[in-house]
């Protein structure tokens, strides 16, 4: 796993955007794994800047979101479909027809989960999956005790996650759905590259357990340890509980030229 500690949240966004842009420059039809929440917003902003400057073109890229609430129609502003549309698809100049979110309002949710898996496979798989992490170590909506072999499925949100996300529902906990559809940890691990971004002290414990703790279903993020091309981009606060941070800094300062990303 590549661990990069950066001075602040803006640097995390810029570094993640540079890595995604490098993937798209090499493969303009790249399939991007998209994430919601606060963590990736800086990445999308930095990527938008690269698009505006003409340094990367995402118009031929495809996107698959990680997760969606069950029961929120796509037009609801809190739905991840709407969130992805307003924070990713439109500002980054992606083709809406090529960007998908799990259909949380499908009549047959289980069939919709299977179709989503098939759509990812049909698109050739995800080239780079952007991830945030929950304070309880979840990735996507794979809450603690999710199987490392799990595929896209319906999950019940953990109380902590609903509390954390109530801020997107005007603080009204009762308005936060109880269920979601999420890509499984096995689905996420199929992506060719994983890029996890985390900022702030509130994520420091989850980050330390993800990167340096034992592989455990109690920490879904620890599944990244099983992936051959996982990068974790952290600001100083999110990195503050890592025990090997000096080693990560040393490694980043001595990267061989062929591993450098601007």
* Binding interface with ligand GLP (CB under 6 A): 35-39, 66-67, 132-134, 140-141, 161, 165
Query: Cβ(57)–Cβ(51) under 8 Å?
Result: yes
Q: Of the listed 68, 117, 143, 190, which one is catalytic?
A: 143
Question: Which residues have C-beta within 8 Å of that of residue 148, sequence separation ≥ 6?
Answer: 185, 186, 189, 215, 217, 223, 226
Dist. CA 64–CA 232, nearest whole Å: 20
Nearer to ligand GLP, 132 or 177 (CB): 132
Examine the residue annotation and report whether 136 is marked as an active-site residue of this protein.
yes
If the CB atoms of residues 105 and 165 are measured against ligand GLP, the closer one turns out to be 165
- State the minimum distance, in angstroms, from the CB of residue 240 to ligand GLP: 16
To the query of whether residue 227 is one of the catalytic residues in this protein, the response is no
**Is residue 138 annotated as a catalytic residue, yes or no?**
yes
Contact 72, 36 (CB under 8 A): no
Catalytic residue at 142? no
- Cβ-based neighbours of 111, under 8 Å, separated by 6 or more: none
Cβ atoms 30, 66 nearer than 8 A: no
Least distance in angstroms from the C-beta of 215 to ligand GLP: 20
Catalytic residue among 117, 138, 190, 235: 138
Closer residue to ligand GLP in complex, CB, 56/146: 146
Residues identified as active-site: 67, 136, 138, 143
């Amino acid at each position: 796993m590549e661990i990069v500690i950066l001075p602040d949240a803006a640097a995390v966004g810029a570094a993640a955007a540079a890595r995604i842009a490098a993937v798209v420059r090499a493969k303009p039809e790249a399939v991007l794994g998209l994430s919601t929440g606060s963590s990736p917003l800086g990445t999308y902003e930095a990527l938008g800047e690269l698009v505006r400057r003409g340094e990367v073109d995402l118009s031929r890229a495809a996107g698959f979101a990680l997760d969606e609430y069950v029961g929120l129609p796509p037009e609801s502003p809190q739905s991840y479909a709407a969130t992805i549309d307003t924070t990713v698809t439109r500002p980054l100049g992606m083709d809406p027809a090529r960007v998908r979110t799990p259909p949380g309002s499908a009549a047959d949710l289980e069939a919709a989960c299977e179709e989503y898996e098939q759509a990812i496979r049909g698109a050739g798989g995800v080239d780079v999956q952007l991830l945030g992490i929950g304070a309880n170590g979840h990735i996507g909506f794979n809450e603690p005790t999710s199987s490392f072999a799990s595929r896209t499925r319906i999950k019940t949100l953990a109380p902590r996650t609903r509390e954390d996300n109530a801020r997107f529902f005007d603080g009204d906990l009762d308005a936060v759905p109880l269920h979601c559809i999420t890509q499984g940890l096995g689905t996420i691990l199929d992506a060719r590259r994983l890029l996890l971004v985390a900022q702030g002290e509130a994520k420091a414990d989850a980050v330390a357990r993800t990167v340096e703790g034992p592989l455990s279903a109690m920490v879904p993020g620890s599944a990244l340890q099983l992936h051959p091309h996982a990068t974790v981009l952290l600001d100083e606060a999110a990195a503050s509980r890592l025990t090997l941070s000096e080693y990560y800094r040393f490694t980043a300062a001595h990267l061989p030229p062929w591993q450098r990303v601007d």
